[in-house]
Amino acid sequence: MRIISYNVNGIRAAIKKGFLDWLKTNPADVICVQETKSLKEDVDHTLFNELGYYDYWFSAQKKGYSGVAVFTRIKPDHWECGTGHKVSDDEGRILQLDFKDIRLINAYFPSGTSGQERQDFKYEWLDNFSGYLESLRKKYPRLILCGDYNIAHKEIDIHDPKGNKKSSGFLPEERAWMDQFFARHWVDSFRFFHPEPHRYSWWSQRFPSVRLNNKGWRIDYINVTEELKGQLVDADIFPDVKHSDHCPVYLEIKT
């Protein structure tokens, strides 16, 4: 199974920038997107079906905000929206699909960049999600968690760690959450294959030269539980795909 996770920063905007043409190249079997900023009925979703993809959506109640979707050539055995955490579910942040004994979770983690109130919400969300994952894992030990985590884990994952030590997305508390996450026997699939620096998945849109000069952050992940570590085949980041301020991250896994 080939999986891509991609924050498209607005699915309609991405389509205008060639997202559907990119899908025609068959980049993966399962495409998990975040920040759709759209209801399913506001998009001609039959275009995805015509390309051979089943489409599943979970949108925020607030129009033009958040939202996740999955486009998959492999029909899941089961799919469900959310986690039961109402505040999170109202923002359309989690979509889950079962492929035989593997559960794939597409997640759009909150950002705290707009101020302390949202940063506090982010910490609350992370705590709640940790408990949810631990509970879910008892039933589904073979988990894949992909999405925009809105956290750069280590200094290697950000172009300017010293200058961003007080920036949301690289705060000590957020990085500690990632430490604890991986300590619970999750595997960073990209780092499993790629120990090298200067590999990023997001670049600020404020300055066009930032992406050109690769001054980015790695905040998009496809991580797996330890039970799937032996089935990892390949992982990568595709910075040359440009429909968004993020780029796709990739995982190939034996099923």
Q: Which residues are catalytic?
A: 148
Distance (Å, whole) CA 142 – CA 224 = 8
Strands of 186-188's sheet, edge to edge?
Answer: 78-81, 94-99, 102-108, 143-148, 220-225, 186-188
Name the pairing type of β-strands 68-72 and 30-34: antiparallel
DSSP states of 54-75 as a string? Answer: EEEEE--SSTTS--EEEEESSP
Distance (Å, whole) CA 20 – CA 35 = 17
Name the pairing type of β-strands 143-148 and 102-108: parallel
Distance (Å, whole) CA 108 – CA 95 = 9
